[in-house]
Chain A
């Protein structure tokens, strides 16, 4: 990790010094344990703020739409895939973007940590040799890293950036997993059961729209939830049905564009499972259109291209 940090700092510094870019978007040390935070660097000497760690969980592609200046971005696998989609949707000018690719070993899910610690407060953490040491008042626990990674990372098939100009370090091996087992499991449920599950989850929604704001692909000038003429759904959260409707439309609107980065799911302060819906769409789009979002700049988005497959979705199918 420290090697990656050094490489990122050097690269950023050079890019700024040589005026190849005006801005580097990356991650800095965060204010909470296991947390890194998005960071905007404009001066070469500030490049030392940049770091790489297991808390670089935000999708930085979110900061790249319609930027006037030349920008470099630190991108892990999922960020790079969002960048690909955003280029295809004319939100990012490829010529004004330098992608600093970082092979990603996965990010730590702070909700899993909270769950594990069952009420004890995490004050300090350290990742070493595949183990995470969690420290707090009167406790010191060591947990295998694998146990704490985000589910998105455990099933991720593109940890290595698919699009980059400069690559930091060596590619990481791709996990061999049965990646749609969770969706398949959801699919076997009866409609009433699915509905009950979603109603239960979304009953906690406070309509803070952190999910929408965290998603690089949620960039409609006017979101349908904010529209008042016509008013597509209730602005209040009195009716859980409307919260479900919000997420259902969001998921459908992201079908074929969502890269399963998990940013929406992580942003939700209420810990609502949004991934079941978004993943279902990822699987459906693979099955129906043979399309995996964000893996190739050349492949036309679904519906803009002839349908070319009916084969079942698999992890490694990139639909090319």
Chain B
């Protein structure tokens, strides 16, 4: 299908009547996914968002339920968000991150209704990356600037128009109100050229990494690799696949809400026990956890690496602790068999 950019804004306006539409919106000098009230608020001319669109399905802070203690008991109000949503303009790496998050929130053992209901009600309209950033390395992780995995529709920007690739029935349905022409040969050719031009400058070598990580838990490499890390959450909160959370009650008087907040393995508090013991007492154990979780434990549990190569952690780290360099260092290290 083919849609010109003016028509596209009209289309968003139509969708807004029925759906909550989230799109990249400029804020300061970066972009974030925000709910838009009109099609022209969306800016699709962007590299990638500061905070990943995971915040639409798994918000930074969300109320799970609220309660009120009364004389004869407790009254509970559920806070399930059943609205129909569309995320427009998300990048292929971020779409892939949802597939990884699905593993966590919809596993054999555990179904998370808050995430899942939103997830099932959300249609994903991706936007291919004509100009990947120098920090992007999705192709090393099985993705790519025009990968379609996880998407319902993919837009390919060919200048004044988008070529729309229809990937699922849900995607097709979204377009049903529009009478769009099929992409002619000229447009298809333009799309092909755009795709070919989108080369990535960064590759990360992941070969054999997992088997290496399997045996280096006690390796001295961790003593040094984390040293400059500050222990903040700039990397994990802006990572599309990080999904750790903490649940707290926030109450005043006889009413309150149970709230789920993002949490991060880089904080000392993350593993602090009630007894005062902390099994990850220093930055070393915490940094090791971040690497291990993404490149080993997640592979053990879900047979996939929990990184999509979006490069956000590289851009946002206040001390330029670059995950690509960390992985290269591990790869370049001598393998010792693991001994405590």
Contacts and interface: CB of A to CB of B under 8 A. Distances in A.
A270 interface: yes
Contact of A269 (B264, B269, B316): B316
Given A31-B324, A121-B131, A121-B133, A208 B237 contact: yes
A32 B320 contact: yes
Contacts of B56: none
Contacts of A275: none
Interface stretch (B23-31, B84-92, B116-124): B23-31
Nearest to B43: A119
Contact of A58 (B51, B61, B237, B318): B318
Interface string B309-340: 00000111011111011000000000000000
Interface string A15-58: 00000000000000011100111111000000000000000001
A206 B248 contact: no
Contact of B27 (A63, A204, A209, A263): A204
Interface in A233-281: 234-238, 263, 266-267, 269-271
B320 A208 contact: no
Contacts of A204: 27-28
B325 A31 contact: yes
A213 interface: yes
B187 interface: no
Given A137-B131, A267-B318, A37 B228 contact: yes
A101 to B, nearest CB: 21
Contacts of A300: none
B267 to A, nearest CB: 7
A210 interface: yes
B302 interface: no
A62 B229 CA distance: 11
Contacts of A267: 230, 232, 234, 318
A58 to B, nearest CB: 6
A209 B250 contact: no
A114 B109 CA distance: 45
Contacts of A210: 230, 232-234, 318
Contacts of B131: 121, 137
A226 interface: yes
Given A31-B320, A31-B324, A235 B233 contact: no
Nearest to A115: B29
B60 interface: yes
A40 B61 contact: no
A125 to B, nearest CB: 12
Nearest to B63: A238
Chain B, interface size: which category? 35 or more
B168 interface: no
Given A31-B314, A38-B319, A236-B248, A271 B232 contact: no
A242 to B, nearest CB: 10
B238 interface: yes
Contacts of A228: 248
Contact of B269 (A39, A114, A208, A226): A226
Contacts of A307: none
A94 interface: no
A235 B261 contact: yes
A123 B316 CA distance: 16
Nearest to A39: B228
A210 B322 CA distance: 16
B339 to A, nearest CB: 23
Residue among A35, A266, A267 having the largest count of chain B Cβ atoms under 10 Å: A267
Contacts of A108: none
B14 interface: no
Contacts of B246: 235
B61 A238 contact: yes
Interface of B: 27-30, 45-47, 50-51, 60-61, 63, 131, 133-135, 224, 227-228, 230-234, 237-238, 246, 248, 250, 259, 261-262, 264, 267, 269, 314-316, 318-322, 324-325
Given A37-B322, A114-B29, 9 more contacts: A30-B322, A31-B325, A32-B322, A63-B228, A208-B234, A226-B267, A237-B261, A267-B234, A269-B316
10 contacts: A31-B322, A37-B228, A38-B319, A137-B131, A206-B237, A208-B237, A226-B269, A236-B250, A238-B61, A263-B318
Return the 5 tightest CB-CB contacts between A and B, nearest first.
Answer: A236-B61, A267-B318, A210-B232, A37-B320, A213-B230
